[in-house]
A = this chain, B = another copy of it.
Amino acid sequence: MELSSTAYVILGLLHKGPKTGYEIKSVVDHSTRFFWAASYGQIYPELRKLAEAGLIEGTSKPSGARKRTEYRLTASGRKELRRWLEIEPAVFELRDEGLLKLFFAGAAPGAASKAIEARRDHDEQKLRQLREIEPMAKAAPDSFPHMVLRYGVALSEFSIRWCDEALAELNREDAA
């Protein structure tokens, strides 16, 4: 039984406590989405599948008349999460339109600096978002989310520096 990585995102988040599909989505949007996003269109069907497979269990916890299902890990779900954590990570995918445009920038004047500036903006925005959630991550008892966040921060800072250097290089060439 090989599950999708998104299924393990769910198992991983439920390991920290029971949640509804809605809560899972909002936690993802404030944490893993920087390196693994997930939408409702994945989460709800996946919750059903995982429940059918006995890895999680849903209990109805309505708030007033509004129906609400809270899921929690079962023993075999916890075991499956641990098994997955122990094996080698396989998926590493990047799709970066900015680098693509820089790669082909020879075909249009001005495209290079535009692509680099856009990347710089993107990195700075990401850095701001990461810094915003950092206090929360820092305060948590589990230190690993904060470690991942620090990786993201350092990477963004590195990328911003690189863009600045690349832009300076382009300007030198233009002057020559």
Contact = CB atoms under 8 A, between A and B. Distances in A.
Contact-size category for A: 35 or more
This protein's copies in its complex: 2
A24 B36 CA distance: 29
Contact of A35 (B85, B99, B144, B158): B99
B5 A104 contact: no
Nearest to A123: B92
22 contacts: A5-B95, A8-B100, A9-B100, A12-B104, A12-B107, A36-B95, A36-B97, A81-B108, A82-B108, A85-B104, A85-B107, A85-B111, A85-B114, A86-B110, A89-B101, A89-B115, A90-B97, A99-B151, A102-B148, A105-B144, A112-B147, A158-B158
